[in-house]
Amino acid sequence: MALRVLIVDDEELARLRLRTLLADCVSPSVQVAGEAGSAAAALQWLATQRADVLLLDIHMPGLDGLQLAQRLRGLPRRPALIFVTAHPEHALAAFEVQAIDYLTKPVRRARLQEALERAAHWLQQESLAPPSGFGGMGAALPGASAASGGVIIVHDRGERVRVPLAELLYLRAEAKYVCLRTAQRSYLIDEPLSELEQRLDGGFVRVHRNALVAVSAVRALERHPVADAPATGFDGDASADAVGWAVQIAFTDEWLAVSRRQLRQVRAALEAH
């Protein structure tokens, strides 16, 4: 059965672009069930019709896409959320509202196809779960964690979730928490990155003082601008600019900064992989 897709974007050309790309997506098969030019219009549409997947912009007049996602969290069977936006800086906030994927414009067909496959898998899992339980991508409530037997145990909404180390794309320190990122979910825990590093079973390389990356998840190592790079450079060197070495992460297409002092180690790890 084809996935029923609702496109939510205030720009008509953006909706047309997505409709064209969806026409070329064959696995899973999709049906554009409707379009909405605002979050309010999307809510009105969803009040009477069903969508399996929402392709959702963030910046829109009135309610933005993140606020719409918050409104939908109370639904017993909510649609899978795939954000499609020109603003990569909102990725973490999107995962916190349990988005399945986060695509940046201009969207490539292959990347959209990948997101739809992930959404189909999520919907299948949701159909087997009790109505009160949500899966998908999202930030777990901070809690104690420990790694053993190839997993990291995270407290997620009062439950203990076993996150296999093999599924981790990266671990990145953010303020007082560490973000654990898999292809399906993003978790926040309050354990120091240095302690987590000691418990990893290998296969990870430190790319920066605030980030560990699974070697198998590195799609590319290139000089690239990174949105959260400090104005003084990746290592605080006033002579550097905001463009430096970075790794591209598979599944998410994110770029994480690689510090100069870690560059040789990262290259060696990639060559040995």
Q: What is the CATH number of the domain that holds 64?
A: 3.40.50.2300
CB 61 within 8 A of CB 38: yes
Based on the fold, state whether residues 209 and 228 are members of the same structural domain: yes
Q: DSSP strand E in 105-210: where?
A: 145-148, 151-156, 159-164, 168-174, 177-182, 186-189, 204-208
Positions in the chain short of pLDDT 70: 74, 76, 127-149, 156-159, 201, 227-241
* Residue of 57, 56, 33 lying closest to 45 (CA atoms): 33
Based on the fold, state whether residues 113 and 19 are members of the same structural domain: yes
At residue 134, the pLDDT reads: 31
Q: What is the CATH number of the domain that holds 157?
A: 2.40.50
CA-CA distance, 186 to 135, in Å (whole number)? Answer: 11
Listed residues 108, 128, 148: the one ending a domain: 128
Based on the fold, state whether residues 24 and 84 are members of the same structural domain: yes
**For the segment 85-114, what is each residue's pLDDT rounded down to a tens digit?**
988 777 777 777 778 888 988 899 988 998
Asked whether residue 133 is domain-assigned, the answer is: no
CA-CA distance, 252 to 267, in Å (whole number)? Answer: 21
CA-CA distance, 39 to 43, in Å (whole number)? Answer: 6
Based on the fold, state whether residues 227 and 268 are members of the same structural domain: yes
At residue 49, the pLDDT reads: 92
The residue segments making up the domain with residue 253 are 202-273
53 phi and psi angles, rounded to 5 deg:
-135, 135
Question: How would you classify the pairing of strands 168-174 and 159-164?
Answer: unpaired
Based on the fold, state whether residues 14 and 124 are members of the same structural domain: yes
Strand partners, 220: 248
Based on the fold, state whether residues 154 and 191 are members of the same structural domain: yes
Asked whether residue 207 is domain-assigned, the answer is: yes
pTM (two decimals): 0.52
Asked whether residue 159 is domain-assigned, the answer is: yes
Based on the fold, state whether residues 119 and 178 are members of the same structural domain: no
Based on the fold, state whether residues 104 and 8 are members of the same structural domain: yes
Based on the fold, state whether residues 123 and 149 are members of the same structural domain: no
Asked whether residue 134 is domain-assigned, the answer is: no
CA-CA distance, 29 to 8, in Å (whole number)? Answer: 19
Strand partners, 172: 179, 211
Task: Using the Cα atoms of residue 124, residue 76, residue 182 and residue 248 in order, give the sign of their dihedral.
Answer: positive
Put residue 136 in one of left, alpha, beta given phi > 0 → left and psi -120 to 50 → alpha. Answer: left
Based on the fold, state whether residues 190 and 207 are members of the same structural domain: no
Listed residues 200, 222, 240: the one ending a domain: 200
Based on the fold, state whether residues 161 and 80 are members of the same structural domain: no
CA-CA distance, 160 to 197, in Å (whole number)? Answer: 21
Distances (CA, A) of 149 to 179, 182, 185, 203, 210: 20, 18, 20, 15, 24
Domain count, the chain: 3
Determine what percent of the chain is predicted with pLDDT higher than 70: 84
At residue 158, the pLDDT reads: 61
Asked whether residue 144 is domain-assigned, the answer is: yes
At residue 76, the pLDDT reads: 67
Based on the fold, state whether residues 216 and 272 are members of the same structural domain: yes
Residue 236, token pair as written in the block = 């605080």
Do you find a cis peptide bond into 28, omega within 30 degrees of 0? yes
Listed residues 86, 103, 128: the one ending a domain: 128
Strand partners, 170: 181, 213
Asked whether residue 211 is domain-assigned, the answer is: yes
